[in-house]
Amino acid sequence: MWSYYTTLRYFIEFSYNGKNYFGYQIQPDAISVQEELEKALSTILREEIKTTGAGRTDTGVHAKKIFAHFDTEKEVDEINLPYKLNSFLPPDISIKKIFQVKDDFHARFDATYRTYEYYISLAKNPFTQESACQHWKRPLDIDKMNEACKILFEYEDFTSFAKLKTDNKTNICKMYKAEWEQDGTELKFTVSANRFLRNMVRAIVGTMVEIGSGKIKPEDLRKIIEDKHRNAAGTSAPGHGLFLVDVGYEFEAKK
């Protein structure tokens, strides 16, 4: 007697506070968002579930909007499963929705862009200690930082902002947006590209802070990028000020 299984692929839209996690991706001897998500899915669906995320965030980094996909042999209740998962998961992980996609659609490789926001507090703020970099002892020149942002669009090789000794096949990224905004005593850096290297946004922010504080000039950014070495750039900004806020796709949910 012949038997076969049909595999269905589902996307999950979710968010998380990264304070208690060593990033999204599973790693030995460290708690991760992926581990918590897969444990919850496997328990509720009563089969071993593996997820693939849209990207892997660093330790302490947050995600306001991120996606992952998983395959299963059973049809999923797209309405009720998010409620069940939210009841099972810890309070710092929230499932927004689950929907079926084409069997070959990929959460990581089919993403067309990612957008991050980084927050800096220019005044000592007890309410943003875990969600913004505290930089209140020295002023920052936002105009110079935005001047440097324009230089980013002149390049596509961002090796100088990449974490050393990674498995990246290429350090080429296409930048879509890079801009600093100030709202009172809070600075927000918004950056969007087709892809990001590990540690890239935090390394860019750290370099921008050196420009804003007058340690280096905006035009020095060109030499930093052209050196193509991580040591040329500034120290990485703390992870807790960084948020993944959007991941873009060109698809329609499979009905």
Q: Which residues are catalytic?
A: 58
Q: Are strands 113-121 and 175-183 parallel, antiparallel or unpaired?
A: unpaired
Nearest to 41 by CA among 68, 7, 22: 68
For residues 115 and 173, give the distance between their C-alpha atoms in angstroms, rounded to a whole number. Answer: 13
- Contact present, 177 and 115 (Cβ < 8 Å): yes
Q: Residue with structure tokens 């927050």?
A: 119
The SS3 of residue 97 is strand
Report which residue type is found at 55.
G
Start-to-end Cα distance in the chain: 31
